Homo-oligomer: A and B are copies of this chain.
């Protein structure tokens, strides 16, 4: 049985075009992965009448609807009020929700503004959903044929609350979820992956899709739930062979390998290694992506590459940046009591959109020196992010190879 789902986003910032509605995209992907069929996205602003009318429309035509936004403490946050009218369930003060909001402020050692009390009023008969990272609790209730879930519009809060939503949906609907396998890669484009996979013979029931995110490209194979596991593994292995070692992780229903810093972190921890980094083009972004990992010991960035060398006390520095990166890594290896040294230098202009930069990566381990070089184009932000990913990817590849 098809479970028809809709996504509903509330907020003037969405309808007026100040914000791109990435929540709707994220939620659609996750509902599809769970086996629901998303038929419609709708966004409306802060007018109570519009909200009520929309909730009534959806209540009559969908089985499930995830709504984001309008749960804040301010006067323009009207979702709970609209739900109360559309569902004919009055708003009721929820003691537990209130305590959770108080605790949020207490942890931050800030007084709770009086207006936040409003967020503890939830429609009668609704199920509260705890918000571990913000003040607005979510809630869910059935209106006519439709199970409505209301979540905050701040993406990090919405995403942190989704696991609970997912459990509720799995209990409520008999979902024939598919089996999704995701091959996660860096350093190769979507169309190049598609070309490499041309010789892969997929049965009709298996769907192939691609998703380009900021930090990776995902190749998705969607299998029917009853597809034989051996046959599935054989197809995944073939796909992996065709794409090559740009794939840093494979997520299956049995095992989530995670994003690039997670994969690297597992390798570093398993072997008890520590790392220091010299960044240039990425300007702190390599370190920033490794937040929460304690194997990263020391990072240095400087705008001028000669300053970098001088700061490290390294006398060898030349116009040959590949050689300079190697010399710097080797020098630091002798001087620092840190296991691995990663150095990235670059030539070209970060801010000139029409000019690419060339990256020179050197990774010195006690056993060997590893180096890579590549060209990156785009805005300063794009070059920065790609530089960070390329540096980290050399680390990932070295961990893979030296584990063998």
Contacts and interface: CB of A to CB of B under 8 A. Distances in A.
B18 A73 contact: no
A273 interface: no
B307 A303 contact: no
B113 A195 contact: yes
A41 B25 CA distance: 14
A382 B108 CA distance: 13
Contact of A209 (B18, B73, B189, B195): B18
Contacts of A282: 288
A25 B20 contact: yes
Interface string A279-321: 1001111111011101011111111100100010000000000
A277 to B, nearest CB: 9
A212 B154 contact: yes
A267 to B, nearest CB: 18
Contacts of A209: 12-13, 18, 46, 76
* Interface residue tally on A, bucketed by range: 35 or more
A3 interface: no
Interface stretch (A90-98, A140-148, A226-234, A373-381): A373-381
A19 interface: yes
| This chain's copy number in the assembly | 2
A74 interface: yes
A114 interface: yes
Nearest to A76: B209
B27 A17 contact: yes
B298 A294 contact: no
A212 to B, nearest CB: 6
Contacts of A20: 20-22, 25
B297 A304 contact: yes
A15 B27 contact: no
A400 B108 CA distance: 27
Nearest to A13: B211
A190 B72 contact: yes
Nearest to A104: B377
Nearest to A286: B284
Contacts of A32: 16-17
Interface in A199-246: 208-212
A156 B353 CA distance: 14
B191 A113 contact: yes
A384 interface: yes
Contacts of A42: 40-43
B41 A43 contact: yes
The 8 A-B pairs with the shortest beta carbon distances in the complex, nearest first, are A17-B28, A284-B284, A284-B287, A17-B29, A292-B380, A41-B43, A284-B288, A299-B301
21 contacts: A16-B28, A17-B25, A17-B32, A18-B29, A19-B25, A20-B21, A40-B43, A40-B50, A42-B43, A73-B194, A76-B208, A107-B356, A115-B194, A154-B212, A283-B296, A284-B288, A284-B299, A284-B301, A298-B300, A298-B307, A300-B301
